[in-house]
Amino acid sequence: MTNPATIAATAAPFERTALYPLHCELGAKMVAFAGYEMPVHYAAGILAEHLHTRSQAGLFDVSHMGQIRLGGAGVVTTFEALVPGDLEALAPLRMRYTLFLNEAGGILDDLMATRIGDGLLLVVNAARKEADLAHLRGRLPQAATVEPLLDRALLALQGPAAATVLSRYIAGVGRLGFMTAAEVELDGRKCLVTRSGYTGEDGFEISLPANAAEGFARRLLAEPEVLPIGLGARDSLRLEAGLCLYGHDIDETTTPIEADLAWTIGKRRRVEGGFPGAATVLRQLREGPARKRVGIRPEGRAPAREDTEIADPQGNPIGRVTSGGFGPSVGGPVAMGYVDRDHAAEGTAVELIVRGVPRPARVVRLPFIPARYYRG
């Protein structure tokens, strides 16, 4: 029998964010995620954390995400050649959700890009940040600077009370528009606050020095509206909001059109092209894709998990579930997946093959709950 101590000593170590000691102090259950030890939930549990975020405010540690600053003359134009979004039209301190694509139109990663001065600040997925750095360095001109911000943390404060809470520390932040950024000071330290998030709720993400993250997190958690929230509730919140998780709902085998992300392709880019995979993506825009990401509501209470087969009422395979589970705010199971386009219309009856047993379900509109982003 192998000695557990030997396994622990020889296993590759996981990275830890600046908030790791606080997570442990708060009694978080820690799990391995994208090379980091991260909290999956705290004492309240996933269900309570999810519902609290929907009703008040939840604080998430998302410091495992990659923050990358791009600089140099003309870097916005050269970066735009790697994505289908219209980045040249992005005004200062505005942000955009966009995608890295391969030459077949497959999605290499989804990311946020914020215009900071003449450059950009990118936030990329934790599991893809090293690949994204290599992608940028290999495709941007030598004059461009590609700087991973290793000394920064990232906090997300999400929920209907987020603006009220953060306004106690940052004057005027409640007036910040959705998908807009502000450069501010917290305790004399420069921070970037964006009105954004991945829960379907109003909220903010705060990029700040790593050595200031724990202190500010403690102050936010001392507010009566705020609870710490782990990865479990973050996943159920984004699923209810119909938002994709890279490596599950989108990857190199899925295009933006198949993934129902056509809105990420700027009008000018649809005319000019000039991004990786443009021929495939623009053809699918004109003709429609062979398959499409859809929302699915199983009947009954049993959830459909990732990789569950989707069939038509005659039992013919038509697709697979990519994300699924219980939706606490919906009060029942919810799922997303890809189906043949002939079965993608809202209201279409389908079957989910769970342990060999077909269970009835229906294609529904995404998101499962209305988005509550701040519109001003």
Q: pLDDT by residue (tens digit) across 205-237?
A: 999 999 999 999 999 999 999 999 999 999 999
CATH C-level class of 290-376? mainly beta
Query: DSSP label at 27?
Result: T
Compute the average pLDDT of residues 286-294. 98
Q: pLDDT higher for 355 or 198?
A: 198
Task: Tell me the pLDDT tens digit for each residue of 143-173.
Answer: 999 999 999 999 999 999 999 999 999 999 9
Is the four-CA dihedral 21, 35, 66, 55 of positive or negative sign?
negative
DSSP calls for 341-370: GGG-STT-EEEEEETTEEEEEEEEPSPSS-
* Strands 349-354 and 309-311, bridge-based pairing: antiparallel
Q: Which residue has the tokens 């606080």?
A: 22
Please report where in the chains the tokens 């005004």 appear, as a residue: 91
Q: Above 70 in pLDDT, residue 268?
A: yes
Task: Please state, for a pLDDT cut of 90, what percent of the chain lies above it.
Answer: 94
pLDDT top residue among 6 and 57: 57
Closest CA to 202 of 160, 230, 242, 237: 160
Mean pLDDT of the chain: 95
Give the mean model confidence (pLDDT) for residues 103-113.
98
Residue in the block written with tokens 């809202």? 346
Residue-wise pLDDT tens digits, 320-348:
999 999 999 999 999 999 999 999 999 99
The three-state secondary structure class of 241 is coil
pLDDT of 5 > 60? The answer is no
* Overall residue count recorded for the chain in this entry: 376
CB atoms within 10 A of CB 262: 16
**Does the CA dihedral 137-84-177-226 come out positive or negative?**
negative
Please spell the DSSP secondary structure of 79-124, one letter per residue: HHTTSSS--TTPPTTBEEEEEEE-TTS-EEEEEEEEEETTEEEEEE
Q: Which residues contact 76 (CB under 8 A, 6 or more apart)?
A: 87, 88, 90, 115, 118, 119, 120
Give the model's confidence band at 187: pLDDT under 50 very low, under 70 low, under 90 confident, else very high.
confident
Per-residue pLDDT at 6 exceeds 80:
no
pLDDT tens digits, 292-308: 999 999 999 989 999 99
> What pTM was estimated for this model as a whole?
0.94
Average pLDDT over residues 233-261: 98
Domain locations in the chain?
4-63+151-240, 290-376
**Confidence category of residue 12, pLDDT binned at 50, 70, 90:** low
Residue 9 pLDDT greater than 70, yes or no: no
For range 338-367, the mean pLDDT? 97
Using the predicted structure, report yes or no on whether residue 29 has a pLDDT greater than 80: yes
pLDDT at site 375: 87
Structure token pair of residue 26: 């708060």
User: Residues 129, 69: contact at Cβ < 8 Å?
Assistant: no
Bridge partner residues of 366 (DSSP): none
* Adjacency order of strands within the sheet including 57-61: 181-186, 189-194, 203-209, 152-158, 57-61, 226-228
Does 7 score more than 80 pLDDT?
A: no
Q: If one looks up domain 4-63+151-240 in CATH, what number appears? A: 3.30.1360.120
Is the pLDDT confidence value at 198 over 70? yes
